Structure 1
């Protein structure tokens, strides 16, 4: 292993020993029954570097529900399908509100503020679904994720999907409100069934770090989208990827990231690496508490930042 990789591996081990063992771990997403029982003492981290290394520490081989991290992949697919026409249906601004808030959606006549809050991701899912059956749309999403990760062993957890469908009343409200403003093409049940299922994709930190390589923009990385779209998706991850905690994450970490209420975070160091961290306990914003702290420690120790 090159000296630089040895140093990075030592950083990961140190983060796992310190932050990964913290007593204050946040609270798991207990409003989704299948996630309520996840052991909060788990912590994993993985880095896929631009030179082809995969470094891991902690519980990086344990599968978890990626939840809203899947919105990065559906956004890439939606842009590939209809291009910049997507922005007629969803905005590109931070929301400043909780991920499932209906307030801005009402004020802005059914057009979600960005593609990473729930309403916006329902729209991108609707775009991917249009012209296909839910099974076909989910097949396309899974193929994209598997191609990005170079790993066919990535699947949807049906129990988690069913749990979300049974308790996703606010998401149904968001979908019906957008339908009332003609911003939904498919029946809400079909779009939301597809949405809940792609949020229920299970991955390990190692797999998620590998899957994020398509956003690194470096030689040898998967070329699934254009460099221009890489930059734009990274920009949206920086400004909107952590809901109303996006500014705090950008301030502390300085890299584009997308969180999920399963406790996972995908972070991109453009030109350098794709990083995945997982700790199930969430902070007040609904983002992984220890995952955020781990990413702050990682960027502090490596100097990685889009701000130089």
Structure 2
């Protein structure tokens, strides 16, 4: 049974205080220059509940690059555009490998395992880009996220996007491999340019928690997708949202979540809350170390879990 909402403010504050004192904070993503320069001594947490309240602590108002958390919104947008046709081009199984691995893509003839590994996200972006210009699609995706968060100030960090384009050789390799198997409809440069800008969307924990409410499926939360579609997106977040650390996160936290190498994690407690945590230092799986630890504490303190 979960705690009363009145207790959440204290729980969130306690967790932020505990994270502030942690010595092992992981390592920032040093392969993207703009992310390598981020101060690792930051931690933020925000919890948005169906009664309209937002509980925040730490650096919850500091904007950061959401990176792969953006894949949740691209997936929701793609399912709204093409529906289940998307699954002809990308699967729904966990990969068990690193987010940028090419191994399974080669074994399975150019069909990515799921939409949250890089190859699958590139296919998802390519699907919604087909027939549009990158500028048109990015504008539409931003409008979707702004509507979800009820915040028109959310934007793309151009410096981060350029940094990713300059260092994205492995993603270019994935894109050209997809293209060789006929699973990329647009020119790789266009799809990847769009994908890198999508990953460079910048949000704070407070904004991200609000932007995740459409997946909570509770009265008082935005209804931007059907309940069935929200349930399927949450299922993929549970099984694939943390790459080869997805099982570890599911075991420790018991809630659907999607991480990004910018240190952010969006977590959904179905029917209860949308949660965002952020700390730039990553663990061995490429997920926020303190963010994962904080979610373990939050799940323990609230009793929130999809497993009862």
Alignment TM class, shorter chain as reference: over 0.9
CA shift, 1:128, in A, is 1.2
Matching residue of 2:73 = 73
CA drift at 1:4: 3.1
Query: 1 CA distance for matches of 2:209 and 2:262?
Result: 16
Match of 2:134 in 1: 134
Distance 2:4 2:39 in 1: 33
Q: Is the 8 A contact 2:19 2:43 kept in 1?
A: no
Task: Measure how far apart 1:19 and its partner are.
Answer: 2.1
- Gaps of at least 5 residues in structure 2 are none
Structure 1: gaps spanning 5 or more residues: none
Contact 1:20 1:290 in 2 (8 A): no
Match of 1:281 in 2: 281
Corresponding residue of 1:152: 152
How big is each residue's C-alpha offset from its partner over 1:18-64, in whole Å with a ceiling of 9 and x where there is no partner? Answer: 12320100000010000001000000000000111101000000000
| TM-score using structure 1 length | 0.98
**Residue in structure 2 matched with residue 307 of structure 1 by the alignment:** 307
Give the structure 2 partner of residue 34 of structure 1: 34
2 CA distance for matches of 1:20 and 1:240?
A: 29
**Cα contact 1:282–1:289 (8 A) shared by 2:** yes
Instruction: Number of aligned residue pairs: give it.
Output: 306
Give CA-to-partner distance per residue, 1:261-308, whole Å, 9 cap, x none. 000000000000000000000000000000000000000000000000
Measure, in 2, the Cα distance between the counterparts of 1:295 and 1:46. Answer: 11
Is residue 245 from structure 1 mapped to residue 245 from structure 2 by the alignment? yes
Runs (4+) of structure 1 exceeding 6 A deviation are none
CA RMSD of aligned residues (A): 0.8
Within a 5 Å distance, the mapping from 1:105-120 to structure 2 comes to: 105-120=105-120
Is 2:46 the counterpart of 1:13? no
Per the alignment, in what secondary structure is the counterpart of residue 153 of structure 2? coil
| Structure 1 residue 194: Cα displacement | 0.3
* 1:156–1:197 Cα contact (<8 Å) kept: yes
